[in-house]
Structure 1
Amino acid sequence: MSITFYYTPNTSASRVHWVLEELGMPYDKVKLDLRAGDQHKPEFLAINPNAKVPALVVDGTPMFESLAIIIYLGDRFGVEKGLWPRVGSGEHAEALAWIVWGSVTLGGSIFRIFHNTSEWFPADARNAIQAESARQEFDGQLKILDQRLQGREYLVGDRFTLVDAANAAAIAWALSFIKVDTSGLSNVTAWLDRSTRRPANQATQGA
């Protein structure tokens, strides 16, 4: 088994990094400097023609898109480690729903806020009205998540899974630059703290 992980810290690659650590899989890391344009080099474009991180090469086969990578790793390696529901089970259906929700619905709001507020994008490309609209959506989505976590410690089943890693990583990153009053979101706050304190996530910090 050969796995090579291409990443940049503090991007969507971070959640794949966390997942790899949770699975305990041996892998090689290749850090890309986005500001220097490493993602546009021919050797990386051969792996991901979209010129984005993360990317993964498993036994010579390239993959990109963090959500696809996490689902693949879960289906292939996560079941036997108790980190992913068995394919075809009811919990697997729930896992797919919540992990896609975290990337598409919640992630869409996060990206709209980032796109309209971050200096990574030109000033004339930012829109304050769009940013505020996305902030309101993000607030509502956190409330949905808080309701889901009522009476449970994790999003799917009775134990931590890769669904929690994927969503907690995205929300922790978002909350680092989005000001949100989380005082009424006790379930989310406890879940986020419980998840991000895991040794696998801590091992990725600053790496």
Structure 2
Amino acid sequence: MTSSIKIYCMAHQDRSDRVRWLLEELGLPYTDVFLKKSAGELNTPAYRALNPLGRVPTLVDDSIVVHESAGICLYLADRYGYGKLCPRLENFQERALYNQWMTFSTGSLECVVARMFTHVGTPEEKAVTHAFVEEQCTIFKKLLNPILEKQDYILSSGFSAADIMLGAVIPGAEPWLMAGNPPIQNYMKRLMARPAAVRAKVF
């Protein structure tokens, strides 16, 4: 078990939240390295050497450096939670679904959530953005609800890193995904009650 894992981040509730949550589920010790954007700490030569994009999170695990939250969680689950928090490769069907949901969380869901913070400069633009988010979340509910109506977690095999990725993003679209929608509401209640999520200060 390693004790040299570092998470470079700006706050507990930035995209490092899912990384920290996964580490807590795995029982791995880690160190948070909080950076201040206003002080230029994302743009220092030392940090840019770790992450040329100058963004967070970045994970350092001994000599291994990974950025992008989904990439970090895929790495951690495979290295330290293989067969427990991620399906084994030989379980092709579950592994395929796991990969799908890990990438859906950022590639589809979080892209929609992010629009609410970047396309709201005027009342007109805000109205268009919210209409788009509502439309997309209607599609997401059609995808997620049938699964969460019949099982507790996104994979039939049980809780996994894919739930961590989804659980960290869904609240950003709470009015459109959770409000008045028991399948996702109950799913989030289960995730928010997990001791590791509480320790990681995700919510």
TM normalised by structure 1 equals: 0.86
Take 2:115 and 2:172, find their aligned partners in 1: how far apart are those partners? 14
The one-letter amino acid of 2:16's match is A
Counterpart residue number, 2:8: 6
Instruction: Output the TM-score relative to the length of structure 2.
Output: 0.87
| 1:187 corresponds to which of 183, 189, 195 | 183
Structure 1, residues 143-177: CA drift from partner, whole Å, max 9, x if none?
Answer: 421122121000012321111011011112443xx
**Segment drifting more, 131-140 vs 163-172:** 131-140
- Give the equivalent residue in structure 1 for 2:45: 42
Distance 1:25 1:144, change over 3 A: same
In structure 2, what is the equivalent of residue 200 of structure 1? 196
Matched residue SS, 2:42: helix
Q: What secondary structure, in the 3-state scheme, does the structure 1 residue paired with 2:176 have?
A: coil
Asked whether the equivalents of residues 13 and 201 of structure 2 are also in contact (C-alpha less than 8 Å), the reply is no
> Which whole-Å CA distance do the structure 1 matches of 2:24 and 2:7 have between them?
12
Q: Give the Cα–Cα distance (whole angstroms) in 2 for the partners of residues 165 and 52 of structure 1.
A: 21
How far is 1:106 from its partner?
1.1
Q: Give me the whole-angstrom Cα distance separating, in 2, the residues matched to 1:55 and 1:47.
A: 7
Counterparts of 2:169 and 2:109, CA distance in 1: 9
Confirm or deny: 8 A CA contact 2:152 2:187 kept in the other structure: yes
Shift of the alpha carbon at 1:113?
Answer: 2.0
C-alpha contact (below 8 Å) 2:170/2:177 kept by paired residues: no
Q: 2:110 aligns with which of 83, 107, 112?
A: 107
Moved over 4 A (4+): none
Counterparts in 2 of 1:66 and 1:189: CA distance versus 1, 3 Å: same
Q: Which is worse superposed, 46-55 or 35-44?
A: 35-44
Contact 1:74 1:162 in 2 (8 A): yes
For the residue of structure 2 that corresponds to 1:159, the secondary structure is coil
Q: How many correspondences in the alignment?
A: 197
Structure 2 unmatched runs, 5+: none
CA contact (8 A) 1:13 1:53 kept: yes
CA RMSD of aligned residues (A): 2.2
Question: What residue identity is the alignment partner of 2:89?
Answer: V
Instruction: Pick the aligned partner of 1:17 from 17, 20, 42.
Output: 20
Question: Is it true that 1:86 corresponds to 2:88 in the alignment?
Answer: yes
Pair 1:51-2:50 in alignment: no
- Give the conservation status (yes or no) of the 8 Å contact 2:25–2:196: yes
Q: Distance in 2 between matches of 1:74 and 1:33?
A: 28
The CA distance in 1 between the partners of 2:34 and 2:62, in whole Å, is 19
